[in-house]
Amino acid sequence: MTAPGALAPQLRRTPLRRVAGLDRLALAGGVLLALIVLAALLAPWIAPYPDDGGSATHALDALLPPSGAHWFGTDQVGRDVLSRVLFGARTSLFIAVAVLAVSGVVGVALGVVAGYAGGWLQDVIMRVTDVFLAFPALLLSLALAVVLQPSVTTVIVAIAATWWPWYARLTASVAASVATRGFVDSARCLGVPAPLIVLRHVLPNSLTPVLVQLSLDGGGVILTAAALSYLGLGAHEPTPEWGLMVQQGQTLFTTDWWAVTFPGLAIVLTAFAFNVLGEGLRARLAR
Amino acid sequence: MTSRETLGTEGVTLAYGTTAVVHDVTLSVGEGGVGLIGESGSGKTTLARALLGLLRPRSGTVRYGSRDLASLGRKGRAEFRRAVQPVFQDGSEALDPRMTAGASIAEALTTHHRMGRRERHDRVAELLGAVGLDPALAARRPHEMSGGQRQRVAIARALAVEPGMLVLDEPTSALDVTVQARILDLLERLTAERGLGHLLITHNLGVVGRLCGTSHVMFAGRVVESGPTGTVLARPAHPYTLALRDAVPRLGGEPPRASGRTEAAPAETGCPFRLRCPYAVDRCRDEAPAPRDLDGRRVTCHRAEEVLSGLAPVAGGERTGPGAPRQ
């Protein structure tokens, strides 16, 4: 790890990169993601036509190509595509954060208990997890989304329902190995009650790989959410949502390419940013 | 101070899954030190885990005082936890990597007693002082300390509940030689000052000589020889004890002899040590030896008399294969 040749690039590292210890690509992903988050937060102030994030219509301006007034052009009802892409970032990031939070909390809680307890409790939790994993994720999401009313909340519930088992399984395997470490034995010998051992020692020492997985999965959640909305099972008009915008604009692709291209690009870029950041974190923690 | 009860096993057999790793072991630790000696894989650590209540015996009982550890109620168990504390091989394993030394010790303090912030802080400093550490180290995490410092913190943590007994599982074998000596000094002083009973698990015979009045030698999950440490180590009656003793390198002395004839796995039938034993004869293959008293110790060997008498090993019945001596 500390071969003489490895010293030179280390010296050239900027302070920021040294702090995070991330490679160039992961850092770019992080910066990109930060910009997307910033755009989402500031959408009402930086969007050129804030009203177009909602239900405004401007029939006379429908499907204008990109220009100085509308950088990304306008859609079928004359709304500014740039404004809607910016507002769409709010929807997509909200869905991503909500899904990761719900499935992360549920999965980690079940996983850490299963991993530490072992025995029948682990068997029960992991078999339930296996049942959920046995369904193709998108199919289960689709089924749920059909049963529930199409909405952003539905998307969150449907995706979280298929996402948590992965965190349960990952956490269980990490927690099971943490449970054999000396400091856990040492806490047991002190007579620390099992729930406290899990909260104080097993959980904090099992979280790192889960956090990496969460950041890797951000992109996947956004893609799935876009897919559900694209299929008409998620966000609906006039909610600005990238998948929905792609669905509405796709028939126009040959004539009015901008209506579908820019929201599509937004999906790709955000998923890409999550992935390279997660990949970088994984590589960093593997060292 | 906690009451001082005897901790021991009665015919304990321990297994992981279907593989038994400790067979029918009976020993007890009261006041003073007891040594448990054997090579890696001999079942010492597994036995320690059973004594600490971390592993349930497959058969036999672990006794704390007059009670079976498995049948202790909530209160009895808490009392047992306060009374018996471990020090493991490696301080970096025994301490939570995310906790400062102070937090680790404080956890021990507050597990059984309510304690104010001020008092906790003072007790942590006091305990760090007792193990020869600067109280300022309380703010350090395990990876910011040396191996010796970590082991001292682990000892301070064990002492925090004011136990009557320590189970020391290879407490120095992960440390540099010079640090080992200082940790041993510390353990010797602390156990003497506080009158702590202790079980010391080690493969290092010199360590046992210093700290333990009684010793048990384990091979392949069985106690093969036990008795007063002086007697056992000065005049081993079991060929395995003899091999262990002669394998200790001494400065300026003869080069150490290899322990036994080979590193063959324990035999499945007869005496488990026979494949490595220079004294082995046909009887050792046909019949597992039973423990018997001989010359002030208990030994499990058909040929203990020959070993004791210091006679050179006589060719036995199984001198073939890779273990045969070279011409």
- The mean pLDDT of chain A is 86
Q: Which residues, listed in sequence order, are joined to residue B228 by a DSSP beta bridge?
A: B214
Compute the distance between CA of residue B208 and CA of residue B223 in angstroms, rounded to an integer: 16
AA identity, residue A239: T
Chain B residues within an 8 Å CB radius of A186: 86, 88, 94-95, 154, 157
pLDDT computed for residue A2 by the predictor:
41
- What span, in angstroms and rounded, lies between the C-alpha atoms of A259 and A242? 11
The contacts of residue B298 (CB under 8 Å, 6+ apart) are: B225, B226, B227, B291, B292
Over residues A183-194, the pLDDT tens digits come to 999 999 999 999
Contact A185 B90 (CB under 8 A): no
Kindly list the distances between the CA atom of residue B240 and the CA atoms of B197, B245, B261, B302, in Å, as whole numbers in the listed order. 27, 9, 11, 13
Q: pLDDT of B84-95, one tens digit each?
A: 999 998 878 899
Q: Nearest CA to CA, how far is B322 from chain A (Å)?
A: 38
Instruction: Search chain A and give the residue with CA nearest B97.
Output: A205
B250 pLDDT tier (thresholds 50, 70, 90): low
A185 and B86 in contact by Cβ < 8 A? yes
Average pLDDT, chain B: 87
Q: How far apart are CA B34 and CA B37, in angstroms?
A: 10
List residues of B whose CB lies inside 8 A of any A CB.
49, 52-54, 77-78, 81-82, 84-86, 88-90, 93-98, 107-108, 111-112, 154, 157, 161
What is each CA distance from A31 to A83, A85, A277, in whole angstroms? 21, 19, 9
Answer yes or no: are the C-beta atoms of B57 and B139 closer than 8 Å: no
How close is the nearest chain A Cα to the Cα of B231, in Å?
33
Interface test with A, best of B45, B96, B169 (most A CBs within 10 A): B96
**Are B96 and B104 spatial neighbours (Cβ–Cβ below 8 Å)?**
yes
SS3 A50: helix
CB pair distance less than 8 Å for A205 and B97: yes
Answer yes or no: is pLDDT of A226 > 60. Answer: yes
Q: Label each residue of A252-284 as H, E or C.
A: HCCCCCHHHHHHHHHHHHHHHHHHHHHHHHHHH
- Interchain pair A190, B49: CB under 8 A: no
3-state secondary structure of B167: strand
Q: What is the DSSP letter of B256?
A: P
Residues of A near B (Cβ–Cβ under 8 Å) read 181-183, 185-192, 200-201, 204-205
Percentage helix, strand, coil for chain A under 3-state DSSP, each rounded to 5? 75, 0, 20
SS3 B292: strand
Q: What is the pLDDT of residue B1?
A: 43
CB-based contact A189 B77, cutoff 8 Å: no
Q: Which pLDDT tens digit goes with each residue over A12-63?
A: 444 454 445 678 888 889 999 999 999 999 988 988 888 888 777 887 877 8
The answer to whether A73 and A259 are in contact (CB under 8 A) is yes
Task: Provide the 3-class DSSP secondary structure of residue B9.
Answer: strand
Residue A114 has pLDDT above 90, yes or no: yes
Contacts of B84 in chain A (CB under 8 A): 189
* CA separation for the pair B327, B324 (Å, rounded): 9
Q: What pLDDT sits at residue A3?
A: 42
Gap between the Cα atoms of B117 and B109, Å rounded: 11
Complex confidence, ipTM: 0.85
CB atoms within 10 A of CB B137: 20
How wide is the angle at C-alpha A67 spanned by C-alphas A64 and A70, nearest 5°? Answer: 70
B124 pLDDT more than 90? yes
Element (H, E) at B219: strand B214-219
B88 → closest Cβ in A182, A192, A201? A182
Instruction: Determine the distance in angstroms separating the CA of B254 from the nearest CA of chain A, rounded to an integer.
Output: 38
pLDDT digits (tens, 9 = 90+) for A72-108: 888 888 889 999 999 999 999 999 999 999 999 999 9
Beta carbons within 10 angstroms of residue A118's beta carbon: 13
When pLDDT is averaged across residues A213-219 and rounded to a whole number, the result is 89
- Would the CB atoms of B97 and A183 count as touching at under 8 Å? yes
Residue carrying the six token digits 């729930």: A195
Distance CA B24, CA B47 (A): 11
Residue among B273, B263, B262, B200 nearest B238 (CA): B273
The pLDDT value recorded for residue B257 is: 59
State which residue of chain B sits closest to A201, comparing Cα positions. B96
Give the minimum alpha-carbon distance from B207 to chain A in angstroms, rounded to a whole number.
Answer: 23
CB contact under 8 A, B54 and A185: yes
Say what the pLDDT of residue B256 is: 59
Mean pLDDT across A212-222: 89
Q: Decide if B85 and A189 are in contact by the 8 Å CB cutoff.
A: yes
Joined together, the tokens standing for residue A8 give 């030179």
- State yes or no: pLDDT of B324 exceeds 90: no
Res. B223 pLDDT band, cuts 50 70 90: very high
Instruction: Report whether A42 contacts A50 (CB < 8 A).
Output: no
DSSP A80: B
State yes or no: pLDDT of B105 exceeds 90. Answer: yes
Mean pLDDT calculated for residue range A187-213? 93
Is B86's CB within 8 Å of A192's CB?
Answer: no
- The CATH-assigned architecture of domain A39-44+67-286 is Orthogonal Bundle (1.10)
Q: Return the bridge partners of B37, or none.
A: B202, B217
Query: Buried (b) or exposed (e) across B175-184, using 16+ Cβ within 10 A?
Result: beeebbebbb
Question: From the list A186, A190, A205, which residue is nearest B88 (CB)?
Answer: A186
As a dihedral over the C-alpha atoms of residue A199, residue A201, residue A206, residue A212, rounded to 10 degrees, the angle is 80
DSSP string, A236-247: -TTS--HHHHHH
Search chain B and give the residue with CA nearest A203: B98
Give how far A203 is from chain B: nearest CA, Å.
11
Supply the pLDDT for residue B252: 67
Torsion of CA B217, B220, B223, B225, to 10 degrees: -50
Answer yes or no: do B88 and A204 touch at CB < 8 A.
Answer: no
Contact call for residues B111 and A192 (beta carbons, < 8 A): yes
Q: Do B94 and A183 touch (CB under 8 A)?
A: yes
Domains and their CATH numbers in chain B:
7-217 (3.40.50.300), 235-323 (no CATH)
Number of A to B CB contacts under 8 A, please give it: 57
Judged on CB neighbours under 10 Å (0-12, 13-18, 19+), A97 is middle
Question: Is pLDDT at A6 greater than 60 in this prediction?
Answer: no
> Per residue in B21-78, pLDDT tens?
999 999 999 877 999 998 888 899 999 999 999 999 999 999 998 889 989 888 999 9
The pLDDT of residue B253 is 62
Q: How far is CA A213 from the centre of its chain?
A: 10
Of A183, A188, A201, Cβ closest to residue B54:
A188
Q: Which of A190, A196, A285 to mutate to test the interface with B (most CBs of B within 10 A)?
A: A190
Per the CB < 8 Å rule, is B161 touching A200?
no
Residue B64 vs residues A281, B37, B52, B85, B115: alpha-carbon distances, Å: 49, 22, 10, 13, 28
What is the least distance, in Å, from the CA of A183 to any CA of chain B? 4
- Three-class SS state of B14: strand
How far apart CA A265 and CA A246 sit, in angstroms, is 10
Q: Do A185 and B49 touch (CB under 8 A)?
A: yes
Pairing relation of β-strands B59-64 and B33-37? unpaired
More confident residue, A18 or A197: A197
CB spacing of A186 vs B98 below 8 angstroms? no
